[in-house]
Each structure stands twice: as structure tokens, then as C-alpha cells.
Structure 1
Amino acid sequence: MDTLNSKKVTRRSFLKGAALLASIAVVPAAITSKDASAAAKATQAAMQYQDHPKGKLECSNCIQYIPGKTAKAKGTCKVVEGAISPQGYCLAYAPKA
């Protein structure tokens, strides 16, 4: 019993331990949220993506499209995974206002 009573916890060691526990809790949450956002995108096949437009409807005119470095470079999409052609089309097409 004397060894339990002889160990005193200082405020500094308590705060260090609390900070360590808090950081351990944050890391899995950060990893999970990153994986969840990637999993939220649909596959190109599921959205019937094609590299050519459907009439005047093309990805470069869609609100979901995120352009590449140049006007002709492939970009990305907020809804569909993978590289997306600016002249492409899919079921998620929504015209820019």
C-alpha cells in the first residue's frame, strides 16, 4: 500500500497523458472521414460515363465537373470517381446555372 500512496501525479504529467489520449482518439476519426469521402463517389460504370458528349451535354458544362490544369486536360468529378474528360457525359450531368 505504501507504493500506491507514494506515487503522486503531477499536473504536468496528467496534462501530458490527457493530450496523448485526445490525439489517439482523433487519428482514427480523421482516417475514417477520408475513406468515407472517397467511398461516396460512384463508379464510372454505375453512372454510365462515356468519354464523348451526349449532344450538347458534356462534363465541361456540368456543375459536378472539376476542370484539369488546361481546358482539354482531364479533370475530376464530385460524383463520379476517376479521371473525367471535359467532353464526357454521365447520368449525374447537371447543367451550370
Structure 2
Amino acid sequence: MSEQRSTRRRFVAGATAATAIALAGCAGGDDDGGVPEEYRTATSIGGNERDPDSLSSKNAAAYQESPSGDRQCSNCRYFIEDKNGDGVGACAIVAGEIQPDAYCARYVRHEG
């Protein structure tokens, strides 16, 4: 009987830890994806200010480094254009450096 309790406790502890790890990846939090400082709270081409504490992960946004037709980050309202000459930008709602010709499920065409 005590062996069964021990196994059950290990299972519950493992399940709890796995859930916490999985949820941490979805939470956004203060993980800004390691972007350079000039992007940390920059404003996108659509006027949205980047909040490092409320970003989605690239995985959660289904980010992919190839455009979907004419849908690409460089014409999305959330795109923050290159600020340091490296050819890469950022996003107001997705963490990390963003390729201008990439695409994600959060795409909204910039009409400006």
C-alpha cells in the first residue's frame, strides 16, 4: 500500500511540474525574446507600443520565417522596423527578433 502511495505522489508531483513548465511558456511574462534595447518599448508601424511584459512567444503565434502570399511582417500593423541596421525588426505583440518577410497567425495588415 505505501508503495502505491509513493508512486501516486511521484505522479502528482511530476504532473504538477509539467503543467507549470507548459504554462510558463504561454504566459508571456517579461521574456522579450532578447531583442536589442531600442526595441524594448518601441512603437510599431500601426502605432502599437511594445510591452515586454505581455508578449506572445513565437511558437504561440505560429511564427514562420516565410511569407504567406502578400502577408508578411513588414506590412503588419504590429511590425517594428529595423532600428539598428541589421535588417531585422521586432513586433509589438510577439517576442524576439522578427524577420521582415516572416509571417505569423497574429498578422493584421497595416493600412497606412
TM-score by length of 1: 0.58
Q: Which runs of 4+ in 1 moved over 3 A?
A: 69-72
How large is the RMSD of aligned CA atoms in angstroms? 2.2
Higher helix share: 1
Q: What does the per-residue CA deviation read over 1:34-75, in whole Å, with 9 as the maximum and x for residues that have no partner?
A: x5x323000000000011100110000101000113787110
Structure 2, unpaired ranges of 5+:
1-29, 31-50
Q: How many residues are paired up?
A: 63
State percent identity of aligned pairs.
34
Q: Distance in 2 between matches of 1:88 and 1:60?
A: 8
Structure 1, unpaired ranges of 5+:
1-34
Q: Distance in 2 between matches of 1:96 and 1:55?
A: 15
Question: 2:45: which partner in 1?
Answer: none
TM-score by length of 2: 0.51
Tell me if the contact between 1:74 and 1:85 (Cα under 8 Å) persists in the aligned partners. yes
